[in-house]
Amino acid sequence: MPTSKANQKQTLVEQNGARRTGATVKLSTTDLNNLMQALDIDVIALTEILVPRGHRVEFGTIDVPGIHYNLSGTGRISINGEPTIPLSPHLLIIVPPNTPLMIEVDGGSGLPQLISRDCWTRRDGILRVAVPDGHPEIVQVCGFFNASFGQSVRLFGELREPVIEQFEPADRIDLKLREAMDELLQQEVGVGAMTASLLKQIVVSLVRRSLKSSQRWTERFSILSDRQITRAFADMVARPGAAHSVQSLAHGAGLSRSAFMARFSDIFGQSPIAILRDLRMRQAAIDLTTTSMPIDVVALNAGYESRSSFVRAFRKAYNQDPSDYRRTARKSKADI
């Protein structure tokens, strides 16, 4: 039918036009603010790296991104076998997941000597890489972490190139990382929440810097690369319990339903409704662990009018009934 062909043509125009121009469209400050507020940080490990002159250290792959902050000293870093990048004080690099790297400092003759695994020590979640009795030229603090929205969307999950930003002492990035390390060493109540909060502050500092930078590294992330889709996703993140539908989300993004579905699924690898369900389960989990509201109210707050359908969805997401999930969370807090 002519109308059908016209609609298909319009959809293709919308999709292709977005792929050509999406990376050049400025993201909304409001959208980024909503996303940063809802971003969950899970700290996997912190590492302190001290490299003397004439030495190098090599790291293999880990399935989470890493923030590498150079506290002091000069040297070089090679990421994923690429040409080396000069290291200077207060240089921050986010290394993508599953990416090896090497840090080296010249000194003496020949190639820098590899710091062996015998020099790697661990204490209270902090890995320290240092040559015994060696005077470090490079002093670097690294945080390995997950940054996510719910269980299925990771901010840095699809990052393919490192993010590199030069900060200044006044930005206090080094103090935040040092404070996170102190938290792990002291192992006081709330250590996980404190270290996560400190790393989140660093991620937010990067986003703020990006808004003023010509590099606009936020647009390297697939979930932030299409402003219209980001607008819809930010609305889902900010209001997971609202009466969203594919049609309403498409309308908010300024797209036809078919174009919205295609572009959203291309970026997230899942349908909008699947992602929305995950965000609603995240909201329910937060309510269950931080409030005493009845299960019926938790369900409504997560966008479910039926308690039974909410319980089924929650059980599928967390392998527990909501009441059991709350009971387990409270017991864990009481045992701290």
- Three-class DSSP labels, 166-213: ECCHHHCHHHHHHHHHHHHHHCCCCHHHHHHHHHHHHHHHHHHHHHHC
Share of the chain above pLDDT 90, in %: 54
CA nearest to 273, candidates 301, 297, 295, 303: 303
Which two tokens mark 117? 């695994």
d(CA 108, CA 201): 40
- Whether residue 6 is predicted with pLDDT greater than 60 in this model: the reply is no
Contacts of 318 (CB under 8 A, 6+ apart): 281, 285, 325
**Residue, of 335 and 306, whose pLDDT is higher:** 306
- Whether residue 125 is predicted with pLDDT greater than 90 in this model: the reply is no
Are the C-beta atoms of 78 and 101 separated by less than 8 Å? yes
- pLDDT-derived band at 111, boundaries 50, 70, 90: confident
Minimum mean pLDDT range among 6-15, 139-148, 293-302? 6-15
The model's pLDDT over 30-52, given as tens digits with 9 standing for 90+, comes to: 888 888 888 899 888 899 999 99
